Structures are given as C-alpha cells and as structure tokens.
Structure 1
Amino acid sequence: MGIVSFASDIYSIGMIGVFAITGEDPSYTPLLAENWQTKASVTPEFADILNKMICEDYTKRFHNAKEALEDV
C-alpha cells in the first residue's frame, strides 16, 4: 500500500476524469493512464492538468484541490 495523502485524492479525481472523458475504466485498462489522450478530444492544457493529477510520482501531483482548481 502506498502513502495516503491529499495527493491520493487528487489521483482518484484525475482517474475519474479520465474515465468520464474516455468512457473506459482505468482500473481495467492499466495503460490507459499513460495513453488516454489517444481516446479523448481535449485541449493540451487540460490533458496536462489531468496528467499531473494522475502522475505515478505523488510528489509531482497537485498538493491539494485548491492548487488543482487554480490550474483548471
């Protein structure tokens, strides 16, 4: 089990966003987190935000929801 923090919540919200945009459940398609943009039509800026939210390295994610909302 990994480290639980606000970054874990940010990751979860990002994956929900990927699911909503692609229609595919990321838990059943592990590589979706790496290549979801090929299945979606979003701006590069929005893709960058989602990618930061679902970054495997939790230290590179947004530190809290306010920080994420500021980028959106």
Structure 2
Amino acid sequence: MDRLLRAEEVAEILNVKRACAYRLMQHEVLPVVRLNRAVRVPKSELERWIREHTERERARVTSAATPPERGE
C-alpha cells in the first residue's frame, strides 16, 4: 500500500510553506485521497505529479529558448 502524506510532508517535499501545500490539496491541484475530514496525498502520486510538471516546465522553457527558424 502506498504511503499517504500529510500536508506538512507534502510541503517539505515541494519546498513550499505548509499553507501552500494545504491550498494545493484543498483545490485538488495535487492528487488527493479523502478519509473523512482528512486529506492525504499518496506518495507515488506526488512523485508522478512532480515528474510530469517538471517535464512540462522543461519543455516550455526549451521551446521558449529556441530561436525561430529564418522565414518564420
């Protein structure tokens, strides 16, 4: 079974303030699991989310840094 992370742990992994982690979880920007009133983030899902968003940002920066071809 995948480990479920609390907001404090998510904040530490993402290097953000705890309030930011709570907002990301509350608005379901991050993949969450709701257990009654508790909201948790599966560790493997957070790792996947980080990979996807890192790859997306890298692609955006690379395409912005590539000069257009002549004639475009």
TM-score interval, smaller chain = under 0.3
Higher relative contact order (CA 8 A, sep 6+): 1
More strand by share: 2
Relative to the length of structure 2, the TM-score reads 0.26
Relative to the length of structure 1, the TM-score reads 0.26
More helix by share: 1
